[in-house]
Amino acid sequence: MSFFGFGQSAEVEILLSDAESRKRAEHKTEDGKKEKYFLFYDGETVSGKVSLALKNPNKRLEHQGIKIEFIGQIELYYDRGNHHEFVSLVKDLARPGEFTQSQTFDFEFTHVEKPYESYTGQNVKLRYFLRATISRRLNDVVKEMDIVVHTLSTYPELNSSIKMEVGIEDCLHIEFEYNKSKYHLKDVIVGKIYFLLVRIKIKHMEIDIIKRETTGTGPNVYHENDTIAKYEIMDGAPVRGESIPIRLFLAGYELTPTMRDINKKFSVRYYLNLVLIDEEERRYFKQQEVVLWRKGDIVRKSMSHQAAIASQRFEGSSSHPEARTPGQPSDNNSRQ
């Protein structure tokens, strides 16, 4: 902070204006640990204070300006030198000059667009953060504060079921059916498996939830498959005409919404993988993509005005009439 241990230095802290009331959400860090961060939605205002505390009260601090930024960026782990920013907002807090005492500066980023969900994967990270900077000749003083963004969605009532067949000619013929093709993160997958022809000795059957993360473009495309869950359907040999029910609760697993071509940098897709294993350890499987989405809560009275706007955007005023603030016009800037 100071050159050769001499001169003035400062500690910078970022404080959100609604820190006491704002909800926090757990989010996985790069090293796999879970930490809690302040939770925001698309369209919400981000405001607060930047506190600057001088370490040596009797010395002045010269600077070339103070600013705060709100940044949304994507970092590909194989290309760590390049940060791809999709949101970049700047507020100047002070012109070049000097300080002789500690100071506090207010800031506000109004109705900030946050188009994507925060995500930490195996090869990519999408993060939002505030960064306060005191510009100095020799070394800047920088403080960052991460936040988490959740994207809320709503799907129409038309949510077709999935019906598929898997089989080996004259040996095995199975039909399986899932009740929907789109599930929210706390949903239950309900289905059935019908054995129409069984001439091989099956000893085990399971459904896996597989997350496939795709990063890069063209020749530099990387795929990472991660088995999120294994759900045993059957242990033992089925017979012809048998029907086995499936009930798989998603709430207990670490899932994110489906992400398609995020800023042309990465995608995250989910698949249900039906696996059959016979007595000779041969594996038969059939994979089917499903769409996962994050369901928004009904707006509570304690939520801020900006949160009500964001919720209306995703939930729709027709489905939750109580979400509309009296006198609040409808939001015409929502994305399809």
- At residue 220, the pLDDT reads 80
Reduce the DSSP state of residue 127 to 3 states and report it: strand
- At residue 165, the pLDDT reads 81
- At residue 282, the pLDDT reads 82
Q: Which of 165-169, 218-222, 236-240, 286-290 has the highest mean pLDDT?
A: 286-290
What is the biggest distance separating any 2 CA atoms in the chain, rounded to whole angstroms?
90
Q: What is the pLDDT of residues 88-140, one digit of tens each?
A: 999 999 999 988 888 999 999 999 999 999 999 999 999 999 999 999 888 88
Give CA–CA dist 65/213, Å, rounded.
41
Residue 41, pLDDT above cutoff 80: yes
Q: Which of 257, 7, 314 is nearest to 119 (CA)?
A: 257
Q: Tell me the whole-structure pTM to 2 decimals.
A: 0.80
Q: What is the pLDDT of residues 202-216, one digit of tens each?
A: 888 889 999 999 998
- At residue 197, the pLDDT reads 80
Distances (CA, A) of 304 to 39, 98, 224, 309: 13, 37, 39, 9
Instruction: Render 55-77 in DSSP notation, one character per residue.
Output: SSTTS-EEES-EEEEEEEEEEEG
- At residue 227, the pLDDT reads 94
Residues 185, 293 contacting (CB under 8 angstroms): yes
Token pair 């919400």 in the structure block, residue:
44
CB neighbours (10 Å) of residue 131? 17
Q: What is the pLDDT of residues 287-315, one digit of tens each?
A: 999 999 998 764 433 344 544 444 444 44
Query: pLDDT-derived band of residue 272, with 50, 70 and 90 as boundaries?
Result: very high
Domains and CATH numbers, the chain: 10-149 (2.60.40.640), 162-293 (2.60.40.640)
Asked which of 13-22, 111-120, 153-162, 243-252 is least confident by mean pLDDT, the reply is 153-162
Give CA–CA dist 73/86, Å, rounded.
6
Q: Please compute the mean of the pLDDT values over residues 258-283 and round it to a whole number.
A: 90
Query: pLDDT-derived band of residue 84, with 50, 70 and 90 as boundaries?
Result: very high
Report CA 229 to chain centroid distance, whole Å: 19
Residues 61, 103 contacting (CB under 8 angstroms): no
Asked which of 144-148, 184-188, 319-323 is least confident by mean pLDDT, the reply is 319-323
Give me the sheet containing 162-168, strands edge to edge.
162-168, 172-178, 188-198, 243-249
> 15 vs 221, which has greater pLDDT?
15
Report CA 190 to chain centroid distance, whole Å: 25
Average per-residue pLDDT in the chain? 83
